[in-house]
Chain A
Amino acid sequence: MTLVVKNLVRQYAGNPKPTLDGMSFDLPAGTLTALLGRSGAGKSTMLRCVMGLESFETGSIDIDGVIVRGTKESSPQERALAIAKSRERLGLVFQSFELFPHLTALENCVLAPMQVKKEARSTAQKRARELLCQLGLEQRLDAYPEQLSGGQKQRVAIARALAMEPRVLLYDEPTSALDPSMKNEVLQTLKRIDERGVTQVVVTHDLQLAKAVEHVCVLDHGVVIESGLPSQVLQNPEHESTRALLAAWHA
């Protein structure tokens, strides 16, 4: 298993019920997984907890058998250290991409490898150029984010995350900020990365995307209620909430 999430609990102050209520799931190495669920099911919170952007009360997250985050980290220092340790293994593509607007596409992709991994500029640039070319951006290396289309921005964001060579790459709603006609392009990109053996997790509301992945998890009220192959979960849902979700999507 590449990514194992165990018993994650996250409660926001003022909320009567926990947003994550003992969530657990595990993902085999190299799979492309979609996390589904209605708004408020805990998808984004889960993503943010995995990435260390938010803390959680109990539970643990491990990657390749190494616990990168758990409740044993009592002090903020320990937590910061654990987050730093997990950085090299985890990448995230934000819903709004969050490219650095003052840097070109290429510069966006070399900043972290040079600063965090202390790579030489030439090494970092070589890899960034390869990644951007693979994602079809060979003409846009020196363009600033403002000059790029939505789909191009997303591919730069993906290249920026891949430049850190993560074992797991997470996406927060990759199709929501794009024109519907771009969905296919996104899917092609995900498939191409899948071929590199990177474990990918996609939080999505998009049924078409969900149908095309290898593994599906359905979340509700902060727990995983159903998981399996898309054909199985999406065509013969066992859980009432899954059926309600699919009915809403089809409508």
Chain B
Amino acid sequence: MLARVMLRALVVMLAVPSFAAAPLTWGSDAQGGAPYVFQDPMDPNRLVGFEVELATMLGQRLGRQARPVQGQWDRLLELLARGDFDIAMNGIEVAEEKRRVALLSRPYFAAAEVLTVRRGDMKAPRTLEALKGRAVATMPGSMAARILEHAGADVRTYDGGQDEIYEDLRLGRVDAVLLDDPAARYFGDLVASFERVPGDFGSVQYAIALRREDTELLAQLNGALESLEKDGSLRALYEKWGVWSAETARLFGDADEKAHGPAVELERWTAAVGTLPTFTERLTSRYPAMVPLFFRGAALTLLVSVCAMLMAVLLGVSLALGRRFGPVPVRWVCIAYIEVFRGTPLLIQLTVVYFGLPELGLKLDPFVAGVLALGLNYAAAEAENYRAGLESVPRGQLEASTVLGLSTLQTLRHVIGPQALRISIPPMTNDFIALLKDSSLVSVVTLTELTKTYTNLANSTRDHLGLGLVVAVFYLLLGLPFARLARAAERHFGKHLHREAA
């Protein structure tokens, strides 16, 4: 398993050059969920959604194979600019601020913004004006968020999926939810205790985003979208998914606003997640099917963590030695490094490494960037661990070594090192387990590790509790062997202690 993931990481690193008839890579966030792009709750290994099918259709028209790339939703345009995929297509709205950073295709879909409140909530806001000062949940950076800000609402945005947004409405943490109609149909409308507020709260059009220089691809996509629109393929697609809307009809100049064909996919979704299966059912049939996905996520988490820890240990040892034994300038550099990397958030470091460095001409692969950011950050913590270890060894040990004629290197290797290591192992184990958990941050650079696997699945199955327990078990299983290894190492380096004196 591990070998396969390593191999894959290697392939990703080497596969930078493009090929003739290269696949059409398109960025989206499976956590955003149904009906756009999500893991099929009946078969979580399958990515489904109306945009998945649209991407396939576009790929066919362009003679390229459509290949999805995972990216955090509110970062899709940054990832696009970096070159992580050719196009971004995931409910991206036609808006001025998006046009400033990317090219937008002709719109392929339109929808109303839908305000959802708790049924019978007499105090619920029911007009745009009434939203002023009220807690309303939506997606960050979305059209709905801008409408809410304009209305003076207390806007709550979520990095998670739509299911989490509606869940907070149900729990009374917010007064209302404003989201695009498709999301309301797949989440809000399923809950009997919610009601849609009638009225006009604005509307939104979706377009495909491209890099500014890709005008040729834009022309191809626009041509493909136009022909899919004209030959009725798009309408059929939207009807099948149950998202055909009056707004889309107007956008396409289609006089028939009513949907006709059965909304097969919406029905399938409702059947799958409308009510959660019992816990026993989930344990016996649903979770086992997801285990391979969790294994894949766990393998990536482990690989990222082990690589980052190796880097942190090597760099940390150098920093600690530099700080303890180096000449004054080296000492200052080491202290400055430790303070900067310990004193700034890991998320910012990762963002700078991944999105900032390309500005200086250094574009790193997601895996490399993730390992690098984690390694650089944890090196600061490791350096302090080793310093504590080094300083715990009495000065006399150093003098005894000097007097015997041992060189500094020999003293470190045979006298100071083994004694310091025993002190440093417990905090090191702690750090590794912390790193294992912090590695979930690499999901912002398109890596679907263990946590991202969980959040995607939880949103596409609306099962946060049960899957939360599953993912917790995976994290524990990852950490425990290292804790045991560390205890064995401690015993090895401490074998001279706690023996009975003769």
On A, residues with C-beta under 8 Å from B are: 51-53, 83-84, 87-88, 90-92, 94, 96, 98-104, 111-112, 115-116, 140, 143-148, 160-161, 164
Cα–Cα, bound, A15→B495 (Å): 45
Q: Is A101 a contact of B419 with CB atoms below 8 Å?
A: yes
Residues from chain B with Cβ under 8 Å of A96 in the complex: 396
Do residues A146 and B497 form an inter-chain contact, with CB atoms below 8 A? yes
- A160 lies within 8 A of B404 (CB): yes
Residues on B with C-beta less than 8 A from A160 are 404
A146/B499 contact (C-beta < 8 A), A52-B402, A88-B405, A160-B404 known: yes
Q: Which residues of B pack against A, CB within 8 Å? A: 394, 396-397, 399-400, 402-406, 410, 414-415, 418-419, 422, 493, 495-497, 499-502
* A146-B497, A146-B501 as given contacts; A92 in contact with B403, CB under 8 Å: yes
Question: A102-B418, A145-B496 are known contacts. Are A115 and B403 too (CB-CB below 8 A)?
Answer: no
Give the chain A neighbours of B415 by CB distance below 8 A: 100, 111
Instruction: Identify A94's interface contact among B399, B410, B493, B501, CB under 8 A.
Output: B399
Residues of the A chain whose Cβ atoms lie less than 8 Å from the Cβ of B396: 94, 96, 98
Closest A residue to B393 using CB positions:
A101
One of B399, B405, B496 near A164 (C-beta < 8 A): B405
Known A-B contacts A98-B397, A98-B399, A147-B501; the reply to A112 vs B496 at CB < 8 A is: no
Query: Which residues of B are found within 8 Å of A100, using beta-carbon distances?
Result: 397, 400, 414-415, 419
Q: Quick one: closest B residue to A90, CB to CB?
A: B403
- How many Å from the CB of B108 to the closest CB on chain A? 69
**Chain B residue at minimum C-beta to C-beta distance from A101:** B496
Looking across the interface, which residue of chain A has its beta carbon closest to that of B411?
A115
Which among B394, B405, B419 has the highest number of chain A CB atoms within 10 Å? B405
5 A-B pairs (CB sep. < 8 Å): A83-B402, A102-B495, A115-B414, A146-B499, A148-B502
Known A-B contacts A98-B397, A144-B496; A116 and B404 likewise in contact (beta carbons under 8 Å): yes
Interchain CB contact under 8 A, A102 and B399: no
Query: What is the predominant secondary structure among interface residues of chain B facing chain A?
Result: helix
CB distance from A16 to the nearest CB of B (A): 27
Q: How far is the CA of A92 from the CA of B493 in the complex (A)?
A: 27
A115 pairs with B496, CB closer than 8 A: no
Query: Residues of A contacting B502 with CB < 8 Å?
Result: 140, 143, 147-148
Q: Between A and B, how many residue pairs show CB distances below 8 Å?
A: 76
By the criterion CB–CB under 8 Å, are A146 and B496 in contact?
Answer: yes
Asked if A87 meets B496 with Cβ closer than 8 Å, knowing A101-B419, A102-B419, A147-B501, the reply is no
B399 touches A53 (CB 8 A): yes
Closest B residue to A104 using CB positions = B496
Q: Give Cα A98 to B399, complex, Å.
A: 9
Once the chains are docked, how many angstroms separate the CA of A236 from the CA of B410? 49
Shortest Cβ distance from B413 into A: residue? A115
Q: Name the residue of chain B whose CB is nearest to the CB of A144.
A: B496
Q: How far is the CB of B177 from chain A (nearest CB, A)?
A: 62
Q: What CA separation (Å) do A98 and B396 show in the bound complex?
A: 6
Give bound CA distance, A88 to B493, whole Å. Answer: 30
A112-B405 in contact (CB<8A): yes
B410 touches A115 (CB 8 A): yes
- Supposing A146-B501, A147-B502 touch, asked if A53 and B402 sit within 8 A by C-beta, the answer is yes
Task: Give every chain B residue within 8 A of A83 (Cβ-Cβ).
Answer: 402
Complex CA–CA separation, A161 to B403 (angstroms)? 9
| C-alpha gap A94/B406 in the complex (Å) | 16
In the complex the two chains form, is B493's CB within 8 Å of A51's CB?
no
Most chain B CB within 10 A, of A91, A115, A116, is at A115
Give Cα distance in the complex from A52 to B405, angstroms. Answer: 11
Select from chain B the residue with minimum beta-carbon distance to A115.
Answer: B410
A46 to B405, CA, bound (A): 19
Interchain nearest-CB distance for B404 vs A (Å) = 4
Chain B, residue nearest A51 (CB): B403
CA distance in complex: A145, B496 (Å)? 8
Q: For the complex formed, measure the closest distance between the CB of B63 and the CB atoms of chain A, giving whole angstroms.
A: 68
Given A87-B405, A92-B403, output 19 extra A-B contacts at Cβ < 8 Å. A51-B403, A53-B402, A83-B402, A84-B405, A87-B403, A87-B404, A90-B403, A96-B396, A98-B399, A100-B414, A101-B496, A102-B495, A115-B410, A144-B499, A147-B500, A147-B501, A148-B501, A160-B404, A164-B404
Nearest CB of A to B415, in Å: 6
Assembly CA distance A111 to B32 (angstroms):
63
What separation, in Å, do the CA atoms of A55 and B502 have in the docked complex? 41
CA distance A147 to B496 in the complex (A): 8
List A contacts of B495 (CB < 8 A).
102, 144
Query: Chain A residue with minimal CB distance to B399?
Result: A53
Q: Give the chain B neighbours of A161 by CB distance below 8 A.
A: 403-404
Closest 8 A/B residue pairs (Cβ): A87-B405, A98-B400, A112-B404, A144-B496, A116-B405, A98-B396, A92-B403, A115-B410
- Chain A neighbourhood of B399, CB < 8 A: 53, 94, 98
Complex alpha-carbon distance, A101 and B499, angstroms: 12
Q: Contacts of A53 on B, CB cut-off 8 Å?
A: 399, 402-403
Closest to A85 in B: B405
Taking the closest CB of chain B, its distance from the CB of A105, in whole angstroms, is 11
* Contact residues in B for A140 (Cβ distance below 8 Å): 502
Taken together as a complex, chains A and B put the C-alpha atoms of A147 and B501 apart, in Å, by 4
Question: Whole-angstrom distance from the CB of A80 to the nearest CB of chain B?
Answer: 10
For B396, B403, B405, B499, the residue with the greatest tally of chain A CB atoms inside 10 Å of its CB is: B403
Given contacts A98-B396, A98-B397, is CB(A147)–CB(B405) below 8 Å? no
Tell me, rounded to whole Å, the shortest Cβ–Cβ distance linking A151 to chain B: 13
Complex: A161 Cα to B35 Cα, angstroms: 79
Interchain CA distance A200-B249 in the complex, whole Å = 105
A140 to B499, CA, bound (A): 14
> What's the minimum C-beta distance from B461 to chain A, rounded to whole angstroms?
53
